[in-house]
Amino acid sequence: MNWTIEEFPIKELATGETLKLKTYTVKGSEGPHIHIQASVHGAELQGNAVILQLMDLINQTQIRGSITFIPLANPYATNNKHGTYTYGRYNPVTGHNWNRNFVDIINVSKFDLIGFVENNIHLPWHELKIVYKSELDQIFRNYFDKLIETRALSENNKLNLMLQHLASKADGILDLHTGPTATRYLYAAEYEAEVSHYLKFKYNLIIPNEYAGSMDESAFMPWVHLMNKLKAQGREIIPDIESFTLEFGSEETFRMDEAAKDVESIVNYLRYKGVLEGMPDKIDSHSCLLENYKTIFSPKGGLVDYHFEPGQKFNKGDTLASFYNLKNIDPNDPIESSRSAVKAEQDGIIINRCPSSSVHQGMELYQVMTKLSEHKV
């Protein structure tokens, strides 16, 4: 196959070494471009196993279009340990969540999108896409230069802008994450909800076509803005450019055997996009709107016995977890006196749970999907 390797410096360390991104791009015949990255959160490793499996598989076939792979998209985060665990969720210096400071480039750059739409609304969609991508490329270059010039390029900006800039060339963007202790699930924007079923995840979280700082959003927002402005001018288009976050199980885990199965979801999407040959299929799945995706914050501090695992269903009234307060033991009835229950207030499915049984009041205990709608094939 025709592979290209590139390196991008992202962070010069205090000791003078420079951490770099390494991108692996494979090109086939004319066709769409796909961008696949893993480990924006440093402890979320499984996506790298999926990338290896997919690279391997692609060497055994033909592709249309091109794919760029970025394993270990945030090496500073992956290398940051305290104890044996990885502090990959937030920047250890500033505390910023690595996946909440991507920028809505159209807004922050103050690009004249209305002017652009007026000039280009007549173009057929496949040409409009090309012109818009070319504009985006220039917008990122200018914005980046301005930040450097004014020394406003902060901790996360450089990495974020570099990833967004690379992703802005793509027709499909897959950001591979994991939860803490988690089942497999997918984030999809409303406008992508239909396509999302080709990724064959059992649980799909539908997020608004809006911006909250994550990579997937930063990649689809330019197209959402364009879609909205076109609509305002009377042209209705659902962009055939998607950006998803794929959650492959639990953090700190790297399993090649599971990756061999995980890769199937991406392969199916690549079939849908026409990058790989073959008929894509769909599976029965569940969708949940973001407003029904609930975090249960710990109402108490204590040692926690979790009664449900990620992927399990629960019903209203079920005891989801028991808290034990060991400063509060009546020795004549030690278990009952120290225990209190956290009960489910409605039916749902466990998606994530806290990986520790030592929990302070207010920590995230579970994240659950409620009010799921079923999608039968």
Site track 186-215 with a second copy (rule: CB under 8 A), x = hit = ------------------------------
* Binding window for a second copy (CB under 8 A); candidates: 28-36, 262-270, 276-284, 292-300: 292-300
Which residues from 25-84 bind a second copy, rule CB under 8 A? 26, 42-43, 45, 48-49, 52-53, 55-56, 59, 71-72, 75-76, 78-84
Interatomic CA distance for residues 146 and 139, integer angstroms: 11
Q: Please, what's the b/e burial string for 133-164 (b: 16 or more CB within 10 A of its CB; e: otherwise)?
A: bebbeebbeebbeebeeeeeeebbbbbbbbbb
Site track 310-349 with a second copy (rule: CB under 8 A), x = hit = ------------x-xxxxxx-xxxxx--x---x--x----
Closest CA to 201 of 289, 264, 251: 264
Query: Least Å distance between CB 164 and a second copy?
Result: 16
* Binding window for a second copy (CB under 8 A); candidates: 13-21, 192-200, 201-209, 220-228: 13-21
Give the helix/strand (H/E) hosting 146. Answer: helix 125-149
* Binding window for a second copy (CB under 8 A); candidates: 11-19, 109-117, 131-139, 205-213: 11-19
Closer of 270 and 296 to a second copy (Cβ)? 296
From the list 146, 295, 317, 373, which residue makes contact with a second copy (rule: CB under 8 A)?
A: 295
Closest CA to 185 of 349, 56, 337: 349
300 binding a second copy? (CB under 8 A): yes
115 binding a second copy? (CB under 8 A): no
153 binding a second copy? (CB under 8 A): yes
Closest CA to 68 of 27, 35, 20: 35
From the list 8, 24, 116, 211, which residue makes contact with a second copy (rule: CB under 8 A)?
A: 24
Interatomic CA distance for residues 184 and 178, integer angstroms: 8
The two structure tokens encoding residue 188: 């999809």
Half-sphere exposure of 222 (CA within 13 A, CB side): 35
Instruction: Tell me the chain's radius of gyration from C-alpha atoms.
Output: 22
360 binding a second copy? (CB under 8 A): yes
252 binding a second copy? (CB under 8 A): yes
- The DSSP 8-state label assigned to residue 191 in this structure reads G
Query: Least Å distance between CB 289 and a second copy?
Result: 16
